[in-house]
Amino acid sequence: MHYLSQNEEKEALKFIKLASEIAKKATCTRSKCGSIIVKNWEIVWTWYNSPTLELESQRRCSCDKNEYHKKVTDKTCCIHAEQRAMFDALRNNPEKIVWARLYFIRLDENDEISLAWEPYCTICSKMSLDLWIKEFVLLHEKWVCVYESEEYNNLSYKYSE
């Protein structure tokens, strides 16, 4: 993990700001998230979180997560913004996803950028490794933080609330 500085930080903040605009389109009623996949400072793909295929029949935002059996490992109802960005990059720009950087942002209830938690999503972290995404970028209190995907995956398995 390392923090960005100077010009690289300025460029990353542009992508974080754009990810926050993408997150405003999220149709999940629990959380608004946005992701951008970038390679060589070029946007490969963007997306937000929403129910599967945007189908209302698949919406489970109002379900209490404690209602699910312990075997249900992802208790969110929506497909994550990171997953959607990866899926669409594979469909539309598969040659550009290898060694790309994935930016992720979550908005608060006022649609303002929320600081990131520690890495915790093993689903997204495993996918990023399998797709050879090089890095995850999160906005932390100390500023823009970059995790190598393997490190992000390892930390996500250690996360506990």
Which domain, by its residues, includes 124?
A: 2-158
143: left (phi over 0), alpha (psi -120 to 50) or beta: left
What would the pLDDT profile of 48-104 be if each residue is shown by its tens digit?
Answer: 998 876 666 666 556 666 665 665 556 566 889 999 999 999 999 999 999 999 999
Strand segments, DSSP code E, in 21-88 are 32-39, 42-48
What would the pLDDT profile of 124-147 be if each residue is shown by its tens digit?
Answer: 999 999 999 999 999 998 789 999
Q: How many domains does the chain have?
A: 1
What's the pLDDT band for 28 if we cut at 50, 70, 90?
Answer: confident
CATH at residue 113:
3.40.140.10
- Under 8 Å between Cβ of 88 and 50: no
